Amino acid sequence: MNLAAHPLAATLDADALRDLVMEAGADDMGFVSIGDPALDDQRAEILSVFPFARTLLSFVVRMNRENIRSPARSFANLEFHQSNDACDTTARAIVRALEARGRRAGYPPVGFPMEADNWPGKLWVISHKPIAVAAGLGQMGLHRNVIHPRFGSFILLGTVAVDLNVAHDGAPLDHNPCMECKLCVAACPTGAIAPDGHFDFAACYTHNYREFMGGFSDFIETVAEAKNARDYRRKVEDQETVSMWQSLSYRPNYKAAYCLAVCPAGEDVIGPYLSSKKAFLEGVVDPLKRKVETIYVRRGSDAETYVLRRFPHKRAKRVGAVLRPATVDGFLGALRHIFQRNASAGLSATYHFTFTGASRRQATVAIADRKLRVSDGLVGAADLAVTADADTWIRFLRKEASLPWALISRRIRMSGDPRLLAAFGRCFPS
Q: How many domains does the chain have?
A: 3
Question: Which residue segment(s) compose the domain that 409 sits in?
Answer: 328-427
Q: CATH code at 408?
A: 3.30.1050.10
Clarify whether residues 130 and 249 are in a common domain.
no
Q: How far apart are CA 137 and CA 147, in angstroms?
A: 8
- pLDDT tens-place string over residues 109-155: 999 999 999 888 888 999 999 999 999 999 999 999 999 999 999 99
Cβ–Cβ < 8 Å for 276, 186: no
Same-domain pairing of 158 and 12: yes
Residues 209 and 311 in one domain: yes
Domain presence at residue 167: no
Q: How far is CA 291 from the centre of its chain?
A: 23
Residue 51 lies in a domain: yes
Beta bridge partners of 155: 62
Do the beta carbons of residue 394 and residue 328 sit within 8 Å? yes
Residues 400 and 393: their CA atoms lie apart, in Å, by 10
**Rounded Cα distance, 68 and 265, in Å:** 15
> Would residue 267 count as lying in a domain?
yes
> What would the pLDDT profile of 72-109 be if each residue is shown by its tens digit?
999 999 999 999 999 999 999 999 999 999 999 999 99
- The answer on 222 and 240 residing in a single domain is yes
Q: Are residues 139 and 45 in the same domain?
A: yes
Query: What letter represents residue 6's amino acid?
Result: H
Same domain, 363 and 238: no
pLDDT of residue 358: 86
pLDDT computed for residue 385 by the predictor: 97
Q: Are residues 348 and 295 in the same domain?
A: no
User: Is 74 domain-assigned?
Assistant: yes
Strand order through the sheet with 155-162: 28-33, 55-62, 155-162, 105-106
Q: What is the DSSP letter of 351?
A: E
Average pLDDT, the chain: 94
For the chain, the first-to-last Cα distance in angstroms comes to 50
336 shares a domain with 313: no
Query: H helices of 43-182, where?
Result: 43-49, 65-69, 73-100, 128-134
Average pLDDT over residues 148-175: 94
Q: Is the pLDDT of residue 430 over 80?
A: no
Q: Is the pLDDT of residue 10 over 60?
A: no
The CATH number given to whatever domain includes residue 123 is: 3.40.109
Amino acid of residue 191: G
Residue 63: inside a domain, yes or no? yes
Report if residue 174 sits inside a domain.
Answer: no
In this prediction, residues 281-296 reach a mean pLDDT of: 97
Give the model confidence (pLDDT) of 229-262 as tens digits: 999 999 999 999 999 999 999 999 999 999 999 9
Residues 39 and 135 in one domain: yes
- Asked whether the predicted pLDDT for residue 292 surpasses 70, the reply is yes
Say if CB 148 and CB 28 are below 8 A apart: yes
Give the residue among 153, 142, 147 at the shortest CA–CA distance from 198. Answer: 142
Torsion-angle region of 325 (φ positive above 0: left; ψ -120 to 50: alpha; else: beta): beta
- Looking at the structure, do residues 9 and 36 belong to the same domain, yes or no? yes
Is the pLDDT assigned to residue 12 strictly greater than 80?
A: no
pTM of the model: 0.92
pLDDT of residue 70: 96
Is residue 177 assigned to a domain? no
Tell me: the pLDDT tens digits for 99-114?
A: 999 999 999 999 999 9
Residue 323 lies in a domain: no
Q: Same domain, yes or no, for 259 and 392? A: no
Q: Can you state the angle between helices 302-310 and 201-208, rounded to 10 degrees?
A: 70
Whether 240 and 193 share a structural domain:
yes
pLDDT band at 2 (very low <50, low <70, confident <90, very high): very low
- Cβ atoms of 168 and 14 closer than 8 Å: yes
